[in-house]
Structure 1
């Protein structure tokens, strides 16, 4: 009889597992920002099997009786941090958890973020708890070419579990942001000359790679050849106006795709940036003015956005514990300094997704997209508002 009862339990357990693995959820919000149209009052988002099933007003969307229901004041898509070093830089601020910058050589395009990313790092959870569901992270500023970046969700136990893109951009740095750990370059002219020389080598390498000629494979040259072919994008961290112009000259000489990063003095050369169509990952709104960023302004995001230049927000890298910012707060400050609330939310979500080329999966609440969304108990951009729930791929992670 005991064995028979155990057998009876098996179908019940299988049913329970099936129900859990195919989660059916309804998220209700007094205001739902879909980023695919106007905000919806008394909105509903239906989630099934990790994807968004339907979005609409409560009068249009019937919630099936077997759906688990969550309620919030405000619902938004999952937030996107467009440039971070989280997962490589850790919260302890010790050598053992600082892998964002390799100082053995100022030019190392062969380094891959995927080989250093720690999915269990506390800072990943810190961002997730503040509504950040997707991060573009990797080797940070400080080297002429510090390595390749990656895009991942802020959940999972291993780097492969929620990886979106293993090698998205190649991190460059110009100006006085080069780490003092390197003996060279000593001046701006030397820095550009070193980069040009490597890119010229990469051109020759690419010719061999595309021909039938035998060649010895070089990991660094492979990355730079991919850049020249447009398979990967240059992420150039630069702040002062004349250094931004140097980055533009370098890009125009070699023709690679480029995203400008930081650009504290971008407001001085808005026309030049707009004319060439470069997207900008703007410096954190509350960056501490100093060094090359001494002329940073909280109004820069608004000025670039008004000019029609695509922008996204970043947490960046700061040399203090916990070594990261939260893009939600940076967006709030930018909103209060001319950008406006709805524009700031757009930049935090769908605009960042488009810049990173992942808007087919994330950035807005639309049928068929990943069920990444955030619940708030008030205005998302007010500091006193709390994140009350976070879903990633339809799973409640906060």
Structure 2
């Protein structure tokens, strides 16, 4: 017991230390690397200059390194939350910085310019082992986008529903962020172009699914014409184009296959239509939502398209998701589809990402596949796997030390490192709890005895 107390005291000291990228060695850890090394039953991981310097059963502790004895605890990569609203929303009823209703701004809308590093939601997510996130815009045209709020209900974003300019076909560009304490959280901008399909896409295109596909094809044709005739466009020497110049410019990486389309799609028939559209237009694709994805898993796997899904989305609350099931993630993974798991709501309950992964395991997804679905898979999907997503030498030192299995609700992180820096293990909620849990001592004026 004395040895354990000393170890925990050392760990507490490490957590309380100033957030600097120092040399740290975590020893006696069960390391789930989410990389080629797989699980290391008992090993050491060394963090140096913000990077992972070494990891393995025989990794050497550098002289002068701060040593944290994990006492057999679990160490994982920091989790990555896709479809997040972190840094762009605080109180949903008061609005957000994720949607725009402007006929000149659709594809060119970029969430990176409104990120708030001081959001009180970021520390809450960080305390759930989340160290990076993909922040996505929401469609504001004609109810064109949807997400599951923090009560699990599907919410359609605002709009008139009567058809709109082509700009409404595109919600805008997503960005990758880190959740480290500090004045800047942007990691990588422009990691994907969000486009609603299914009911949402039909709404922005005038009420029919087929109309949206035609409108998108027309928009992409305009982009290609613009690319061939930029000089003529500037002197008004080309035909009228439906999109603004800023939207045309924003879509060039999409039609060139450098930026993926994040397709919000749910129903099996809509998924097939989106796969066909992407194949014909030769664009890179990510499917998001895919509640009926298991029904067309072979098609998705054959196309080599990854998916993002909430494994707890199983209620047939609309005709788009009648075939939803808690086994969706397991079945897609078994078919060979690259799966990324998301937390519920994207903001206030994104912390539940690890619980969602645990539920995916409970309904048939192999444990290591679920771990990959909250780490390396998401990093690969969004083009940041060279930096994060697994515990490998040379990558950013994002890791979490857990008291037990991270997918078990009673397990808690004992330390969180982002790019080698120890993060504060507190949040506004914890601070408020500590302030008011004992009113026997000195109290604020508003709380007299």
TM-score band by shorter chain is 0.7 to 0.9
Question: Contact 2:403/2:414 (CA < 8 Å) preserved in 1?
Answer: yes
Alpha-carbon distance in structure 2 between the residues aligned to 1:53 and 1:128: 23
Q: TM-score, normalised by structure 1?
A: 0.85
Distance change in 2, residues 1:30/1:225 (3 Å): closer
Cα-Cα RMSD: 2.5
Residue equivalent to 1:306 = 334
Residue equivalent to 2:156 = none
Alpha-carbon distance in structure 1 between the residues aligned to 2:343 and 2:201: 19
- Aligned positions of 1:20-39 closer than 5 A: 21=20, 23-36=22-35, 37-39=37-39
Q: TM-score, normalised by structure 2?
A: 0.76
Alpha-carbon distance in structure 2 between the residues aligned to 1:335 and 1:250: 33
Distance change in 2, residues 1:286/1:214 (3 Å): closer
Structure 1: runs of 5 or more not aligned: 1-18
Question: Contact 2:169/2:196 (CA < 8 Å) preserved in 1?
Answer: yes
Alpha-carbon distance in structure 2 between the residues aligned to 1:391 and 1:379: 18
Residue equivalent to 1:315 = 343
Alpha-carbon distance in structure 2 between the residues aligned to 1:139 and 1:38: 34
Residue equivalent to 2:431 = none
Q: How far did residue 111 of structure 1 move?
A: 0.1
Residue equivalent to 2:306 = 279
User: Equivalent residue of 2:375, what SS?
Assistant: helix
Residue 344, structure 1, aligned to residue 370, structure 2: yes
Alpha-carbon distance in structure 1 between the residues aligned to 2:124 and 2:104: 30
- Aligned positions of 1:192-341 closer than 5 A: 192-209=213-230, 213=232, 215=234, 218-286=245-313, 288-291=315-318, 292-315=320-343, 317=345, 322=348, 324=350, 326-341=352-367
User: Equivalent residue of 1:230, what SS?
Assistant: coil
Alpha-carbon distance in structure 2 between the residues aligned to 1:22 and 1:101: 36
Structure 2: runs of 5 or more not aligned: 1-17, 140-144, 146-167, 236-243, 426-449
**Number of residue pairs matched?**
368
User: Equivalent residue of 1:168, what SS?
Assistant: strand
Residue 186, structure 1, aligned to residue 203, structure 2: no
Q: How far did residue 104 of structure 1 move?
A: 4.2
Distance change in 2, residues 1:286/1:270 (3 Å): closer
Question: Contact 1:374/1:387 (CA < 8 Å) preserved in 2?
Answer: yes
Q: How far did residue 185 of structure 1 move?
A: 2.5
Residue equivalent to 1:128 = 126
Q: Pick from 123, 141, 147 the counterpart of residue 172 of structure 2.
A: 147
Q: How far did residue 368 of structure 1 move?
A: 1.4
User: Equivalent residue of 1:346, what SS?
Assistant: helix
User: Equivalent residue of 1:362, what SS?
Assistant: coil
Distance change in 2, residues 1:377/1:324 (3 Å): closer
Residue equivalent to 1:11 = none
Alpha-carbon distance in structure 1 between the residues aligned to 2:333 and 2:21: 40
Instruction: Give CA deviations for 1:65-85 in whole Å, capped at 9, x if unaligned.
Output: 522222331000111113222
Question: Contact 1:77/1:365 (CA < 8 Å) preserved in 2?
Answer: yes
Residue equivalent to 1:4 = none
